[in-house]
Amino acid sequence: MARKSILTALAGASLVAAHGHVSKVIVNGVEYQNYDPTSFPYNSNPPTVIGWTIDQKDNGFVSPDAFGTPDIICHKSATPAGGHATVKAGDKISLQWDQWPDSHKGPVIDYLAACDGDCETVDKTALKFFKIDGAGYDKGVWAADTLVKDGNSWLVQIPEDLKPGNYVLRHEIMALHSAGQANGAQAYPQCFNLKVEGSGSNLPSGVPGTELYKATDAGILFDIYKNDISYPVPGPALIAGAASSIQQSSMAATATASATVPGAGATGGSSPAPATTTTAAAGVTTTAAGATTTSQAQAPTTTLATSTKAATTSAPASSQAQATTTATAPASGSGSGSQAAQTKWGQCGGNGWTGPTACTYIDIISTICPRPCYRLRYYLALLHFLVPVRAICQGNLAGVAV
């Protein structure tokens, strides 16, 4: 029975590996985890993240015949994320996809919509989106090609004059490899909760997500294989002052942060700052919801690493702010009682064994296939759920459930 389940999972793995989803969001060098539609549904206690929950276990798409339904807003059966990330007007945000196939040519489009209150409880059908960028085809290069060349990442900038408040960022790739026929385009929308700080006053008007596109729009029903390509990016016009794309580059994260949950542990009606983790050469500062302790006087700093590539548009780019973050010190000691844990791959059980019996956990997926061999990792991830190997010890296989 277990063997049959494994074979069934492997048979469907090619569907999961075919497309992709945003795996993380980086703001000024600080990384936030996104909702993972291929693993979170099987997790009894998934983490709270800034990305919306979606029914996309196969990394699938929304087809044009559903463009008038709520599924096009933030993907299939989307519900608001439980937390948000705080950004400043003018900040650049890197949206990192786990993978994207070269064959899926098309535009990359980004929208914002203001939430009347917390985005964590917003009615998605009430959101009105305005377009802050929309890159299509330029000098023989599709926006999706630029995304792939930059390590499957896309850089979007929050408008500098945007009014402070809570917003949903809607990021989307529109794959056009089959768009020459009716209902052939493939939309891959993803949504994220943001709290925007600043002193701006601009709040552009928008349109409901169900009115962004029609199946017969020129940029939806489009043959990308014709010789002379003049591509109209679908959707409403860009807001005043926006460009089709800022200069694209890859952004490396130097710290991680958890999503901020409204009201969690807050006092006086304010939300606590998200917990961030980074490493400093000397000195570690720990911050946890209002309490700060410092082991040395020197504060750690974070250096933002970017690798700039050719610009897809001529839009002016604002200076990239450096992130100065706090760090969480690692906990000392582990295990239970006085029993020492066995070393990795060492024996930790068996008849007559008198040595250590606490096995060392091994991440099978990372051990066999570290990034970036994504396709094999999908297969291994599926096996990891079906056969949760907690430890592999010499002469003793422990923790196998089949």
Q: What is the pLDDT of residue 396?
A: 41
Which candidate, 57, 68, 72, 65, places its Cα nearest to that of 21? 57
Which candidate, 28, 24, 25, places its Cα nearest to that of 278? 28
Q: What is the pLDDT of residue 137?
A: 97
Q: Which helix (H) or strand (E) holds 367?
A: helix 364-368
Q: What is the pLDDT of residue 353?
A: 58
Q: What is the pLDDT of residue 375?
A: 53
Residues of the chain short of pLDDT 50, as ranges, are: 1-17, 265-274, 276-338, 361-362, 364-368, 370-372, 374, 386-402
Q: Which residues contact 317 (CB under 8 A, 6 or more apart)?
A: 92, 157, 246, 247
Domains (range + CATH), the chain = 19-261+301-308 (2.70.50.70), 334-402 (no CATH)
Which candidate, 92, 13, 5, 6, places its Cα nearest to that of 319? 92
Q: What is the pLDDT of residue 347?
A: 58
